[in-house]
Chain A
């Protein structure tokens, strides 16, 4: 269980989007989405959870324990993180990238190698262990980033726009794969996206953010049925309109 209570982070001028008095509870095994336009504070919120950014006020607890009482390095090693645009280390091979957190945790080489093989199978890229990131396609890089985030068997995963900048086909495939992994491993996932369609299709619960606060929080169904205000309504208008058009098109062309 992850609990944000009245968390604030204030930045001077343009150093980053601020967050104000944010409260949010994420249950175990939940796929939680933080959605909103750029600059709404969703990545700031995500990064406060593994202390890449330190909060100014409020408390954040994981399983009842304030994360400020834990060593930040140890905290980050037990929370998986897949970065925007992959963030792979360019001078390390795929297998070195994936094994990095286990290596930092002191696993022996045999354990590391076994874990890399297991993950490469999981992300369905068994033959790329010795390649460098620059030799991979965008979709392959994102898969490797997910594998790296999963490597040390974390219970919690943070994903920052993990499927951004990919072609639609790859993106859907990867998103479905990840959702399957999330369910199989009983993970708690917090994912940041600005794409409302993706949010509605993937998430168990969605927090729609605006200017550093949460505009509405709920399941996809709740958001669709009862948008809290005009902002949320506008946010979900596009996916709804698309869905109607698609349905109409499918109806006309139905075999």
Chain B
């Protein structure tokens, strides 16, 4: 079996379990809110329009945006509860994903329930009143049973939506089957992407069929069918959740942002912890600032960030005191402001750089960002999703007076393709990326030092810093830029791809080799 598929299989119990837990919780919560609302609205025509309108509007918000929106909302809420009650609420991971998916699940249930209730034959309702039912008894004994098949059909639509949309909760820190898709997309591992799609689709299909069985059972008043569907649902959900339960013992959570180097380093850290007898799990594909926020709030325990990124995004500094002073100030600031421990630099730098195809650079006589400024008005630049909104970009623009004809954003992988095929002339890149050499790109010099150094640094969450420090200290100053580039290329190159775990295993052998004396 292919290494990618083997790796994907190994992750399935965790991903599927988390995915099912999230989806089922969202559907149940959605139903718990929608059904009473629908019953209320069915009896009061004036409220019907606003309720359904609100749910419809929610549905038109792109799912990814809705998920992302809950991060700042919960962040603000957390600050509020912290002031009032003395504790915060998590703004990343399960909670925001649950809330967004709950809202997303409501429309079909709301609409179907309202429709089913208002379309019940008025003669039957009159009879219910006539035999002496109170309005509550009429609802319980007559209206809800008659509406049940249509209500279940609504739950069925919601379930399919939620299971599909839950894959988008990966970037806000909730593990799901979407991890396959996001990781696969980042590393151009299409087998992984396909694995994620197929597993999510199968899950949706199974839930859909079981709920269809329940709906037909209710419509035909066939108790055996209903029982079979209920048992099926319970078995599927329980079987998916079982692995989570066994994983409930104390484990450390390693975070990773959304590119190959981060996946590899997460695996290196996991191996280290394993050999120290400390089990761990991983949360990958976190957005850059999500990762730091998650660490500071103990949502994850360990991850690797870059000094320049923290300097600009967390400390909001634009001055350049020099590499060592910057690391020292960063160390103290992280401890004082967030209780986060910076164990130390790993030994290599992954700097934001700007790169061009070598032949193109030669043709235009561009060596540095200063040379680039001369031509920039006729050139096209491509960047990843972050660079153009980061403070470093402003500082580079100001330092050199850069202004481009067009500016585009790509997934990191497509970025290299774009510059190679000439869709753009300049791209933002990372200095530790093996593909810079592979694609024969020229890194443009930064004579004015507009970009800060980006030493890879190992960070620990406030709660578990003491336990983890000893096990991970050997990683400090242990990875050279050259080795990191080679490991990255193993995962990133288009042909003969290796998985991050395989690249990590290779990188680990270079760490364990006795380092040359300084």
A residues engaging B (CB < 8 A)?
Answer: 50, 52, 73-74, 76-77, 81, 83-85, 87-91, 100-101, 104-105, 132, 148
Select one of B124, B130, B137, B142 contacting A52, CB under 8 A.
Answer: B130
A52 contacts B133, CB within 8 Å?
no
Contacts of B335 in A (CB 8 A): none
* B32, CB-defined interface residue at 8 Å: no
- With contacts A52-B130, A76-B129 known, what are 8 further pairs, Cβ within 8 A? A76-B131, A81-B131, A84-B123, A85-B123, A87-B126, A87-B130, A100-B131, A104-B137
Select one of B127, B132, B134, B221 contacting A83, CB under 8 A.
Answer: B127
> A87 CA to B129 CA in the complex, in Å?
11
Can you pick out 19 interface pairs between chain A and chain B where the beta carbons lie within 8 Å of each other?
A: A76-B129, A77-B131, A81-B127, A81-B131, A83-B123, A83-B127, A83-B130, A87-B123, A87-B124, A87-B127, A89-B127, A89-B128, A89-B142, A91-B145, A91-B221, A104-B132, A105-B132, A132-B221, A148-B131
> A77 CA to B130 CA in the complex, in Å?
8
B132 contacts A76, CB within 8 Å?
yes
Contacts of B418 in A (CB 8 A): none
Contacts of A76 in B (CB 8 A): 129-132
Consensus secondary structure, chain B interface: helix
Closest to B121 in A: A90
> A77 CA to B126 CA in the complex, in Å?
14
> A132 CA to B222 CA in the complex, in Å?
12
Contacts of A84 in B (CB 8 A): 123
* B191, CB-defined interface residue at 8 Å: no
Find residues 108-150 in chain B having any chain A CB closer than 8 Å to their own CB: 123-124, 126-134, 137, 141-142, 145-146
A-B CB proximity, top 10 nearest: A77-B132, A87-B127, A76-B132, A81-B130, A91-B145, A101-B131, A100-B131, A104-B132, A83-B127, A87-B123
Select one of B126, B127, B134, B221 contacting A73, CB under 8 A.
Answer: B134
Contacts of B129 in A (CB 8 A): 52, 76
Contacts of A73 in B (CB 8 A): 132-134
Closest to A132 in B: B221
> A227 CA to B131 CA in the complex, in Å?
37
Q: How far is the CB of B215 from chain A (nearest CB, A)?
A: 14
Closest to A83 in B: B127
Q: How far is the CB of A214 from chain B (nearest CB, A)?
A: 24
Contacts of B130 in A (CB 8 A): 50, 52, 76, 81, 83, 87
Contacts of B141 in A (CB 8 A): 89, 100
> A60 CA to B451 CA in the complex, in Å?
92
> A50 CA to B129 CA in the complex, in Å?
10
Query: Could you give, for residues 315-327 of chain B, a 1 whenever the CB lies within 8 Å of some chain A CB and a 0 otherwise?
Result: 0000000000000
Select one of B124, B131, B145 contacting A104, CB under 8 A.
Answer: B131
Contacts of A101 in B (CB 8 A): 131-132
> A90 CA to B131 CA in the complex, in Å?
15
Contacts of A132 in B (CB 8 A): 221
Select one of B124, B132, B133, B137 contacting A90, CB under 8 A.
Answer: B124
Q: How far is the CB of A215 from chain B (nearest CB, A)?
A: 27
> A245 CA to B142 CA in the complex, in Å?
49
Q: How far is the CB of A125 from chain B (nearest CB, A)?
A: 19
